[in-house]
Structure 1
């Protein structure tokens, strides 16, 4: 598998093309963005931040890395890789964005799954500088960017695939940067996802699903796959890591978090939906 950087980046201030000059990206208007020594670039303007340090904390990124690298979500990664590579012609170099890439686990899995049949131009983007830093340290081949899905620093119609896994989709932006026929691969929680954990940390569990019933504007539905399996966690650390990498860490009360922290084993249901949407012409 050949991974090359995705270079059709856009200035987050005026939307014009960025060009790499030595250790910085620049646009024709003179805006300059330095490349960190770890290889990533910060393309999230201060005025677009909602907090001083947005996104996952350093501790949350570390927890997600430990949990995912242990292989607990491998069936999800396998399904995403199959759907992403489906229909990619041999001999092409499709552009692929992971919008909310975290510490890069799913992009690394994609590189492993593709073998020698494809070359991918890969961009990993996350609003958390800690996540992007961890990703760049593990694999320097993709382009790594600190940025926001609400204002993707990507040129129009320059991508063939977008991954949005347990993330925050911004469909108008996704439609803008995808080529006609390009695909959005979206993973969302089903109504039973981590139900057993939720029953421990919440006084009442609501039966709800994040699945999308209608294709977003500008897209048509191209496929739906439910991924469901049981997971057994032995030891306090993987249980704590699972809680730390989900929004439940902040939504649960202190009493709920304490109940989870007291567990030594936990069996949970993983229930997610992988939906594929194709960009209309």
Structure 2
């Protein structure tokens, strides 16, 4: 059964959205979200809504480019990061999920794994996901109708205060004030971040010097670390195309020199280490 054919009633879209212009609640009527002050936002044909006003964009086309999203989708579809997705789903399901928000969802790979695992265990939840990249949200929305897909920013999350029970930030950029605002009293923030050895072999190819990654936690001491797991495994990439997609889906593509990128493009195979911190936090009261 494909995701688009899933008739489960356990996983539902998150219905409580807010107007990005004035914060008022939005109501869905005939594929348009409207607030009481007359602002309206149409649902795109792919099934998402754009709640990122022009005045809040820092560029004309913010976030991951279409090419980055396509590269990530191709790479992740090969299953190379499946152990990470499975570990994330297991971490989420250690407690009731409730209202779930993926803040920085990309093309939706990790969220789909979480929702599939929840569905398999008959765990109910209402899911929303946002990304600042319209290309990422378009790709995600096409594949999974179970989610309220939003083009939006972590710096201004269009949901009510304390309405989210499980907040995911996977390789993302936490905005602590907003994360604290949207989390419920018993809510959890679950974060996925690179550990020191992540993609070390690729970095050795593209950089003249590989710098040690700081060991600091990704959030301040206004949060309490409640669990921590390190997920580490090897991945063998047997083709130039897969190596290119891995590089293209990461920020390293733009950080590397032209000489470094050329060295990577010349490779026909590469074994890399995936090394990830999987952590759960709660906000200090």
> Is TM > 0.5 for Structure 1 vs Structure 2?
yes
Decide which of 19, 42, 46 is 2:50's aligned counterpart: 42
Deviating beyond 3 angstroms after TM superposition, the runs of 4 or more aligned structure 1 residues are 213-216
| d(CA) in 2 for partners of 1:215, 1:86 | 24
* Residue 210 of structure 1, CA deviation: 5.9
Change over 3 Å in CA distance of 1:143–1:249 after alignment to 2: same
**C-alpha displacement of 1:85:** 1.2
- C-alpha distance in structure 2 between counterparts of 1:262 and 1:215, whole Å: 41
- Matched-pair contact (CA < 8 Å) for 1:188–1:210: no
Name the structure 2 match of 1:193: 198
TM-score relative to the length of structure 2: 0.93
Partner of 2:34: 26
1:161 aligns with 2:178: no
SS, match of residue 16 in structure 1: coil
In the alignment, the residues of structure 1 paired with residue 146 and residue 111 of structure 2 have an alpha-carbon distance, to the nearest angstrom, of 11
From 117, 120, 125, the equivalent of 1:120 is: 125
Q: Which residue of 1 aligns with 2:77?
A: 69
- Native 8 Å contact 1:190 1:209 kept in 2: no
Tell me, yes or no, if structure 1 residue 181 matches structure 2 residue 177: no
**Does the aligned pair in 1 maintain the 2:174–2:219 contact within 8 Å?**
no
Change in 2 beyond 3 A, CA 1:179/1:270 = same
**Could you tell me how far apart the structure 2 residues matched to 1:116 and 1:73 are?**
22
Listed as ranges, the gaps of 5+ residues in structure 1 are none
1:210 and 1:25, CA in 2 relative to 1: closer, same or farther beyond 3 A? Answer: farther
Structure 1 residue aligned with 2:64: 56
- 2-structure distance, mates of 1:63, 1:79: 23
Map of 1:255 onto structure 2: 259
- Distance, in Å, in 1 between the alignment partners of 2:218 and 2:235 is 27
The alignment's C-alpha RMSD in Å is 1.4
- 1:8 maps to what in 2? 16
What residue ranges of structure 2 are gaps of 5+ in the alignment? 1-7
Answering whether residue 89 of structure 2 is matched by residue 95 of structure 1, we say no
Q: CA deviation at 1:215?
A: 5.0
User: SS at 1:51's partner residue?
Assistant: coil
**Deviation per residue, 1:20-77 (Å, 9 max, x gap):** 1111111111111111111100000111101000011111101101111111111111
| Pairwise CA distance, 1:117 | 2.1
What does residue range 221-232 of structure 1 map to in structure 2 within 5 Å? 221-232=225-236
Per-residue CA distance 1:178-202 (angstroms, 9 max, x = gap)? 1011100001111111011001000
Output the TM-score relative to the length of structure 1.
0.95
Q: Distance in 2 between the 1:266 and 1:209 partners? A: 25
